[in-house]
Structures are given as structure tokens and as C-alpha cells.
Amino acid sequence: MALALIKIKIMPDSPQADLDNIETKTRELLEKQGSKSIKFEREPIAFGLIAVIAMISWEEEISIDPTIDAIQEFKNVSSAEVIDFRRAIG
């Protein structure tokens, strides 16, 4: 099985959204789904809105779509999308 390195951009629904809570819930879901090496960054967008970028390793054969759909259902999350998908070498 090959590993993929994936970046997921999670957009909160407002500048007042609790980003720490979004990160915690995302980490719990990703760990439950078998993801490893989970890291987060925050990216300023505009007008005080900050996106959460989750960087993960994922089994390439397993679809990420159901996980993205689950993240989008979190409270205070407007959207979630894969912004980078690369096959890991080695």
C-alpha cells in the first residue's frame, strides 16, 4: 500500500469560530480513520478569517471523500477540500 501526503483546507464559517476546537475534532476524526503524521497550519484569508490547513499521511487506496464530508459537518465549519494530494516516495 502506498502512502499519500494530503493537505486539507478547512474554512470556518466566521472569524469568531473556535479554530482550536476545529483542529481537535479534525485530529480525532483523522486518527480514527487511520491517518498518521497529522499537522496543522493556519492561513489568513481575509477580513479576520483564518483557514485551518491539515497535513496528513493517508493510505492512497482509501478514499478521502467520506472523511472530507464528515469534516464539513463539524460545527463552525463552512467547507473542507483537498488542496494537495501527492504520492509519498519510499
The CATH class that applies to domain 3-87 reads: alpha beta
pLDDT at 44: 97
Query: Which amino acid belongs to residue 65?
Result: D
pLDDT at 36: 82
Going residue by residue through the chain, which has 90 residues, state the pLDDT in tens, using 9 for 90 and above.
688 999 999 999 999 999 999 999 999 999 999 898 899 999 999 999 999 999 999 988 889 999 999 999 999 999 999 999 998 875
pTM of the predicted model, to two decimals? 0.92
Inter-residue contact 67 to 30 (CB < 8 Å) = yes
In sequence order, the 6+-apart residues with CB closer than 8 A to the CB of 35 are 56, 57, 58
